A and B are shown apart, each in its own frame.
Chain A
């Protein structure tokens, strides 16, 4: 019984002591008492409830604890905090490592946080730089100040908003008055536009129905076939006449040389046949015995009708360009009516406001060379210069217009105008042929009588 008691007592006491010692070891291990460490210092104006024994973390990792907090001797001094850091973290503690007091979580304990440095290693015993702790009270004070500022700003803005609202109301009132004032002109304008639209629709319907000269030309294949056959026949006759003329010239030549051709008879026969064919063809164009006008009269009438139709079409298109509905369409495509646009209008503010101009200036001696009989013509160097300029414009030419401005300094005003137009037209013609540009997209503007920047030509790329 006694031995059992002793064994039980021994096991109880020894086991209890071991358990107690295990607890001490765990606490010591967490406190890093079993790791080599060195002491460092830092200083704060206020320690913000940091206590002796508080944790020290280097880069967020537990590294030791605060050993001592020395109270300052006077108001101008600082709290001197002594702490230790375990050896394994020495390598990241540098002279520029900043110590600060932080809170573990929102409501946790205070601890000393040491940042990872970048300069040379901090030797044990040195004083690390510090950053003063951030207090919630300071934050609340700042928030209070900010809220006060916001309140003042909102008050100020509120007055501005009231004024702005009043201004908007006044503006709306004015707009309403304007709308009422233009109502009658707008009605009349709408009626006129409607009438124009109806007229255009009627014209197009009649053309589509084959009425009138233009309608017949567009819709009647017989007229087209007759015209085509007549043209082919004329071409063949003229070839024969040319051949006969050539033969006669060869015969005369041989006759003059005294060498009588052996086949003169055959040549005369050919001439005779050709004359007969010409006669038949000419008779076909003469009025017939029944009082008909013949093919020549028909062809003349058809060509006259076609000319008249094309003239009407040109007039219609011109009207459409100036129509309210189609003007924007033509302008967007670059169909500026440069023929009816004077240099003064071209330089007017109204025109300038709709487009932007990218202008490249070229001197006269860069582009033109004097011809032997007088006048100017594009030189090879001038063409190369134009090619170089157009190289930059080509990527825009699909939907943009190019204006060739001609400038002439010398001479009277009319001479300047004529010569500048001549220069502009020469360049325009070259550009259209060289770069296969649509003539509608390339205009020529004589500027010599209006403004004289110098003697030469300017290429202008118009942009919306």
Chain B
């Protein structure tokens, strides 16, 4: 009789339970974010950590993606005699989907893992408890600042990713067809509207919120010593990436519904 009361929860219940806890954590972060103190110094520091130091990774990845996309697009377009449309296809692909999603996944891997490990370490070593004992709102100071930093850094990193991809695509394209930069840019932006550019970029604000929230939750609630830190770091990357990909589908659908003409 007693065994049925204390039986371990199943995977579905665990998933639903954790989803609820993350949602509560996110709601708390949103609520606290609008309450002083705003911890701008820490936000600045976290933007520097999440954004500035992610630039090499994002720029390199973006450049490589641009080159690869250009080559793949050329191989396809040339079959239809539409080589002139390669810049437009490359720009559309990068700005609409590839740039935001790849930036989110890269930041999830680098920053999300860092946040999970850092906060997990602070939890395990009772540094968070120490801050609390000093009357410092650890949630406000450690969690909200990181979420805000991710939300600010992601759109900027996405823009950098898009620009790097366009440069890489141009270099690959001019190596193949000697196209000029002016013609390349004119062709690239020929079929892109404002909404095609702004909405996918702003979409990454949500990605930043997801990365910051999931990573901070997993680190902030870490248990089990150093093993728990590693688990929190790994789960931060996996969970934030999965949620990010799923949410991306939902966001694209919402954009299509709200802006049918300009949505991609």
Q: Is B197 touching A24 in the complex (CB atoms < 8 A)?
A: yes
Contacting residues, chain A, for B82 (C-beta < 8 A): 105
Write out, one digit per residue, whether chain A residues 105-122 have a CB within 8 A of any chain B CB (1) or not (0). Answer: 101110000000000000
The reply to whether the CB of A451 lies closer than 8 angstroms to some CB of chain B is: no
Chain A residues near B (Cβ < 8 Å): 2, 4-6, 8-9, 11-13, 15-17, 19-20, 22-24, 26-31, 51-53, 105, 107-109
Residues of B in contact (CB 8 Å), total 36
Of B28-36, B183-191, B230-238, the one contacting chain A is B183-191
- Closest A residue by C-beta to B201: A20
Those 3 A-B pairs whose CB atoms lie nearest each other, nearest first: A16-B156, A8-B52, A5-B48
Q: Is B197 touching A2 in the complex (CB atoms < 8 A)?
A: no
Interface of A is mostly: helix
- Closest A residue by C-beta to B49: A5
User: What is the distance, in angstroms, from B236's C-beta to the closest C-beta of chain A?
Assistant: 22
Q: Which of A13, A22, A52, A109 contacts B191 (CB 8 A)?
A: A109
Chain B residues near A (Cβ < 8 Å): 41, 44-45, 47-49, 51-53, 55, 80, 82, 85, 95, 152-153, 155-157, 159-160, 162-163, 185-186, 189-194, 197-198, 201, 261-262
Q: Is B44 touching A26 in the complex (CB atoms < 8 A)?
A: no
Q: Is A51 touching B189 in the complex (CB atoms < 8 A)?
A: no
Residue picked from A12, A19, A20, A105, most chain B C-beta under 10 Å: A12
Q: Is B48 touching A53 in the complex (CB atoms < 8 A)?
A: no
User: What is the distance, in angstroms, from B79's C-beta to the closest C-beta of chain A?
Assistant: 13
Bound state CA distance, A253 and B156, in angstroms?
Answer: 152
Can you identify 27 A-B contacts, CB atoms within 8 angstroms? A5-B48, A5-B49, A8-B52, A9-B48, A9-B51, A12-B47, A13-B47, A13-B156, A15-B160, A16-B156, A16-B159, A17-B156, A20-B156, A20-B159, A20-B201, A22-B163, A24-B194, A24-B197, A26-B189, A27-B197, A30-B186, A31-B193, A52-B261, A105-B82, A105-B85, A108-B85, A109-B191
- Closest A residue by C-beta to B84: A105
Contacting residues, chain A, for B47 (C-beta < 8 A): 9, 12-13
Contacting residues, chain A, for B41 (C-beta < 8 A): 2
Bound state CA distance, A105 and B85, in angstroms?
Answer: 10
Q: Is A12 touching B189 in the complex (CB atoms < 8 A)?
A: no
Given contacts A2-B41, A8-B52, contact A27 B189 (CB under 8 A): yes
* Additional A-B contacts beyond A16-B160, A51-B261 (4; CB < 8 A): A5-B48, A19-B163, A29-B189, A105-B85
- Closest B residue by C-beta to A19: B159
Bound state CA distance, A51 and B189, in angstroms?
Answer: 18
Q: Is A12 touching B44 in the complex (CB atoms < 8 A)?
A: no
User: What is the distance, in angstroms, from A329's C-beta to the closest C-beta of chain B?
Assistant: 68
Given contacts A19-B159, A53-B262, contact A8 B197 (CB under 8 A): no
Contacting residues, chain A, for B48 (C-beta < 8 A): 4-6, 8-9, 12
